[in-house]
Amino acid sequence: MRGNLYEALSLYVVTDEREDVDSLLTALERALAGGCTAVQLRRKREDGGRLVEIGRRIRELTNRYGALFFVNDRVDIALLTDADGVHIGQSDISCRDARKLMGKRWIGVSAGTLEEAKAAVSDGADYLGVGSIYPTSSKDDADLCGLSTLADIAQATALPIVAIGGIKASAVPEVIGHGADGIAVVSAVMSASDPQRAAVELKRLLAVLPGRIR
Amino acid sequence: MRGNLYEALSLYVVTDEREDVDSLLTALERALAGGCTAVQLRRKREDGGRLVEIGRRIRELTNRYGALFFVNDRVDIALLTDADGVHIGQSDISCRDARKLMGKRWIGVSAGTLEEAKAAVSDGADYLGVGSIYPTSSKDDADLCGLSTLADIAQATALPIVAIGGIKASAVPEVIGHGADGIAVVSAVMSASDPQRAAVELKRLLAVLPGRIR
Ligand code: NI
């Protein structure tokens, strides 16, 4: 199963915070139809009950399209929605604590520096989310890690790496060229007028770019 | 064990949102020394990693004083900190979902109406948090449930009831008189100049008031 994780993380779509959940799920389904391989539920302002409800709907969608489903931050919601994994940031529950509850499910860890990446590897992370690569409206510029750090991390570990943060189609070649195995996007797909076409175009790019040799 | 829950919930202190966690824990320890019987960790703006850290320190303190420890909302944090239970609101993970993860640990459910209380009972709650009884700075006036609803709920169920919301020492007789088995407080203890003395005084009042007959 681990071998497949590189491919399963190639086009990783993270949800946005829009109010209208039906619209969110419609956009996600389009993205899945376009080839999105993994979805992360991330809604920082959402209550637990609603997260479970939305998560179960995303679980259904991702099952239908054969995509992975991750929950950001909350291990309890990941377990209750039968997610494939949880994605944790540096200020969330630690990877070692998450493992106690997650068992064999995947754990992804955000890393913005080589040190954070090495710590995540030794703590048993299954993949790394590396970023922010470019400035985004949702993150501080202080969180920028840049392409050279991405390259350093890719050099240091064979764990699957998903690059995140302001990645547009035009940036995909340099992101993959610096060692990412996949890209995580929010607005490039979710804010596209046609999320399916946006996903198809990103997948087409990813398909022709040589990845790291495994 | 269930028999003891009425007493174990008699003086239930909920944490506040102060920045300084050492100061928070100092106040909690004073409250425990003064006879607080249960502590709930509720920090709506706190990240998961910090919640685990604070929760483990509260677990140590409550163990030392023989008090119960509850975590608000997050089942994952409750499990990782070995809490006695979780306390869930109407918009959090549902009681039935929480039970899947909590097993035999306690689950408390907030109820502001008789209907919510009945639903919580049939969903398997172990105790009810009923309120807000009085206006508080942290809650909307729309959430006020009042003493008559408290009395209706106490009439309808034998589950332990903890009344919450703006309860000061002067209000304890009427709150207990309307059927609460215990009181939950934030500022009456945590904002007191001497949290230990505040707890002692509340315990003294609770000790002389006749409760519901069990
Ligand atoms: Ni470069």
Q: pLDDT tens digits, residue range A99-121?
A: 999 999 999 999 999 999 999 99
pLDDT of residue A2: 47
User: Which of B139, B168, B203, B212 is the catalytic position?
Assistant: B139
User: Residue B95 pLDDT more than 50?
Assistant: yes
Is B100 considered catalytic here? Answer: no
Q: pLDDT tens digits, residue range A35-61?
A: 999 999 999 999 999 999 999 999 999
Beta-carbon separation of B76 and A101 below 8 A: yes
Please name the member of B89, B90, B101 whose beta carbon is closest to the beta carbon of A76: B101
CA angle A158, A160, A163 (to 5 degrees): 120
Closest CA to B175 of B165, B163, B158: B163
Tokens of B181: 């088995």
- Spatial neighbors of A112 by CB under 8 A, at least 6 apart, are A90, A130, A131, A132, A143, A145, A149
User: Residue B1 pLDDT more than 70?
Assistant: no
What is the rounded average pLDDT for all residues in chain B?
95
Beta-carbon separation of B48 and A91 below 8 A: yes
Low-confidence ranges of chain A (pLDDT < 50): 1-2
Percent of chain A beyond pLDDT 90? 91
Q: pLDDT tens digits, residue range B165-204?
A: 999 999 999 999 999 999 999 999 999 999 999 999 999 9
Beta-carbon separation of B93 and A76 below 8 A: yes
B70: β partners: B40, B85
DSSP-derived 3-state class of residue B108? strand
Instruction: Name residue A211's amino acid.
Output: G
A72 is annotated as contributing to ligand binding: yes
B4 is annotated as contributing to ligand binding: no
User: Which of B30, B42, B59, B99 is the catalytic position?
Assistant: B42
Contact B56, B69 (CB under 8 A): no
Is B168 considered catalytic here? Answer: no
Q: Which of residues 20-59 of A touch B (CB under 8 A)?
A: 47-50, 52
ipTM of this complex prediction, to 2 decimal places? 0.91
Residue of A nearest to B91 (CA): A49
Q: Which of residues 93-152 of B touch A (CB under 8 A)?
A: 93-94, 97, 100-101
Instruction: Tell me if the pTM is above 0.90.
Output: yes
B137 is annotated as contributing to ligand binding: yes
B129: β partners: B110, B162
Residue whose token pair is 């022709």: A208
Q: How far is the CA of A149 from the centre of ligand 1 (A)?
A: 9
Q: Are strands B11-14 and B182-185 parallel, antiparallel or unpaired?
A: parallel
Cβ contacts (< 8 Å) between B52 and chain A: which residues? 93-94, 97
Beta-carbon separation of A48 and B100 below 8 A: no
* Residue B77 forms contact with A (CB below 8 Å): yes
A41 is annotated as contributing to ligand binding: yes
User: Residue B3 pLDDT more than 70?
Assistant: no
- Spatial neighbors of B46 by CB under 8 A, at least 6 apart, are B54
* Residue B210 forms contact with A (CB below 8 Å): no
Please name the member of A52, A76, A93 whose beta carbon is closest to the beta carbon of B52: A93
Q: pLDDT tens digits, residue range A126-139?
A: 999 999 999 987 66
- Mean pLDDT across B17-40: 98
Ligand 1 ion local residues (Cβ < 5 A): A 147
pLDDT of residue B65: 98
Q: How many residues does chain A have?
A: 214
